[in-house]
């Protein structure tokens, strides 16, 4: 619900100022006219900006929360509870603070007579468009329970996939972070002390030792500048990645990388097939479903191709024909879509191929990680070996020279 300030004229001609809550401005005016004949002015009340951030509230609604919410909606609607009561119960049981706040606001709007999808769209800016549009299609077709069941399956699968990738990436990332910190301490603290001893020996140092000393001196003197440059570069790349051009460029780079490119392509194919199957099962037309998928798919260059295919669909082409010129989607996905359309089993075919590419993405991720761990070990071994050799070569050389004397 929104809040509006208004100025109206009463029957006796006096001017009245007041505040009213309504879903939109039109409803607010209609409510005011029940008490006053003329509405002179009406303005929305701007909510005060809150600069205090609740650290316990997530930044977005997780796939796990969405799957659990969809499951609870499905169960309670099957039990015959009213929509308002269902939303209130789900909100009370929800542990996610962001989703609970969204559902409580949604319950008020639904109680006032508005649709669930429209209320979610208004209050849930951080709820995926797939969730909202599937609910809308379920409401319009009278199959809301099935829509929630489909959403539960979709977001459960997405949660398991993301969880597997995160757990697999935890170990190599932690190893890399610890290694960088240890090497930094060695270069800034330990190596300068060792090099002072080497300099005091007075003999000519080997080239490898001179290189190590030069690197150590540079980091010891300019470490704050190095960190500043790295931080600025990371920030610049991050901000550029938030722009449309940046998202498109990064997605093209990711999908063309030797090992990671295959993972990106498989993930995009799985996301396209699974999302499209969920939306079509909810009764959403192919063109609208494709538009939604083009906005939610993580790989922006794939999203652009899906968006361009909408024009071809509207001109009379089938979905398989519209995607045939795709540069980034796997040919097997497009062929299976064509087979599904021909056989009249597009939804089932999309679910099957979606599962296939989900498994392929997981397998490709495992293979990449199995290569990443020894690669990190080798790189760290080379760095540590360089430091050790650079320190001990002059010591051994001088020891050998003294032994010869």
Please indicate, yes or no, whether residues 79 and 117 belong to a single structural domain of this protein. Answer: yes
169 within domain boundaries: no
**Owner of token pair 């001017």:** 15
170 within domain boundaries: no
What is the pLDDT at residue 50? Answer: 44
Please indicate, yes or no, whether residues 105 and 191 belong to a single structural domain of this protein. Answer: no
- Residues 153-179 have pLDDT tens digits of 889 988 888 887 777 777 777 887 888
What is the pLDDT at residue 336? Answer: 93
Which residues contact residue 99 at a Cβ distance below 8 angstroms, ignoring those fewer than 6 apart?
Answer: 61, 65, 66, 69
What is the pLDDT at residue 113? Answer: 80
Please indicate, yes or no, whether residues 272 and 385 belong to a single structural domain of this protein. Answer: yes
Please indicate, yes or no, whether residues 102 and 132 belong to a single structural domain of this protein. Answer: yes
Please indicate, yes or no, whether residues 118 and 235 belong to a single structural domain of this protein. Answer: no
Given a cut of 50, whether residue 149 has pLDDT beyond it is: yes
165 within domain boundaries: no
166 within domain boundaries: no
CATH at 149? 1.20.81.30
Domain with 31 in it: 2-44
Please indicate, yes or no, whether residues 378 and 245 belong to a single structural domain of this protein. Answer: yes
Please indicate, yes or no, whether residues 149 and 184 belong to a single structural domain of this protein. Answer: no
What is the pLDDT at residue 399? Answer: 64
- Residues 298-351 have pLDDT tens digits of 889 999 999 999 999 988 899 999 999 889 999 999 999 999 999 989 999 999
162 within domain boundaries: no
- How many domains in the chain? 3
Between 53 and 102, the higher pLDDT residue: 102
Which residues contact residue 256 at a Cβ distance below 8 angstroms, ignoring those fewer than 6 apart?
Answer: none
276 within domain boundaries: yes
Q: What is the mean pLDDT of residues 239-263?
A: 88
Please indicate, yes or no, whether residues 27 and 80 belong to a single structural domain of this protein. Answer: no
Please indicate, yes or no, whether residues 116 and 207 belong to a single structural domain of this protein. Answer: no
- Of 97, 126, 157, which marks where a domain is finished? 157
Please indicate, yes or no, whether residues 282 and 207 belong to a single structural domain of this protein. Answer: yes
Give the mean pLDDT of the chain: 84
What is the pLDDT at residue 125? Answer: 77
Please indicate, yes or no, whether residues 188 and 305 belong to a single structural domain of this protein. Answer: yes
Distance CA 65, CA 120 (A): 15
What is the pLDDT at residue 171? Answer: 75
Q: Which residues pair with 79 in a beta bridge?
A: none
pLDDT band (50, 70, 90) for residue 48: very low
Between 27 and 335, the higher pLDDT residue: 335
pTM of the model: 0.71
Please indicate, yes or no, whether residues 139 and 94 belong to a single structural domain of this protein. Answer: yes
pLDDT band (50, 70, 90) for residue 405: very low
């Amino acid at each position: 619900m929104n809040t509006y300030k208004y100025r109206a004229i009463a029957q006796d001609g006096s001017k009245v100022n007041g505040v009213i809550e309504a879903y939109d401005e039109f409803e607010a005016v209609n409510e005011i006219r029940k008490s006053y004949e003329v509405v002179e002015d009406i303005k929305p009340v701007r909510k005060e900006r809150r600069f205090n951030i609740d650290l316990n509230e997530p930044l977005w609604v997780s796939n796990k929360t969405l799957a659990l919410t969809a499951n609870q909606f499905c169960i309670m609607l099957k039990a015959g509870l009213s929509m308002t009561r269902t939303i209130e119960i789900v909100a009370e049981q929800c542990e996610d603070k962001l989703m609970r706040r969204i559902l409580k606001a949604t319950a008020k709007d639904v109680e006032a007579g508005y649709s669930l999808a429209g209320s979610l769209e208004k209050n849930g800016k951080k709820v995926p468009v797939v969730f909202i549009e599937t609910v809308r299609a379920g409401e319009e077709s009278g199959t809301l329970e099935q829509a929630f069941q489909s959403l539960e399956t979709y977001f459960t699968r997405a949660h398991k996939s993301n969880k597997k990738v995160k757990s697999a990436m935890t170990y190599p990332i932690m190893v890399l972070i610890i290694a960088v910190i240890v090497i930094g301490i060695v270069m800034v603290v330990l190596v300068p002390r060792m090099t002072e001893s080497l300099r005091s020996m007075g003999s000519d140092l080997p080239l490898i030792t001179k290189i190590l000393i030069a690197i150590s001196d540079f980091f010891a003197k300019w470490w704050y500048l190095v960190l500043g440059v790295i931080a600025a570069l990371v920030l610049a790349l991050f901000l550029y990645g938030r722009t449309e051009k940046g998202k498109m460029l990064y997605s093209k780079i990711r999908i063309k990388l030797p090992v990671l490119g295959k993972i990106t392509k498989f993930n995009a194919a799985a996301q396209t097939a699974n999302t499209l199957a969920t939306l079509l099962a909810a009764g959403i037309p192919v063109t609208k479903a494709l538009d939604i998928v083009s906005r939610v798919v993580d790989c922006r260059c794939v999203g652009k191709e899906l968006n361009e295919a909408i024009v071809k669909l509207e001109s009379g082409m089938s979905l398989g024909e519209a995607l045939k010129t795709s540069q980034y989607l796997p040919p097997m996905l497009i062929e299976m879509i064509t087979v599904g359309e021909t056989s009249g089993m597009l939804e089932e075919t999309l679910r099957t191929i979606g599962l296939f590419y989900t498994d392929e993405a997981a397998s490709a991720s495992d293979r990449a990680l199995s290569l990443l761990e020894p690669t990190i070990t080798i790189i760290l071994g080379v760095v540590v070996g360089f430091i050790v050799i650079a320190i001990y070569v002059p010591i051994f050389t001088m020891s050998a020279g003294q032994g010869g004397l």
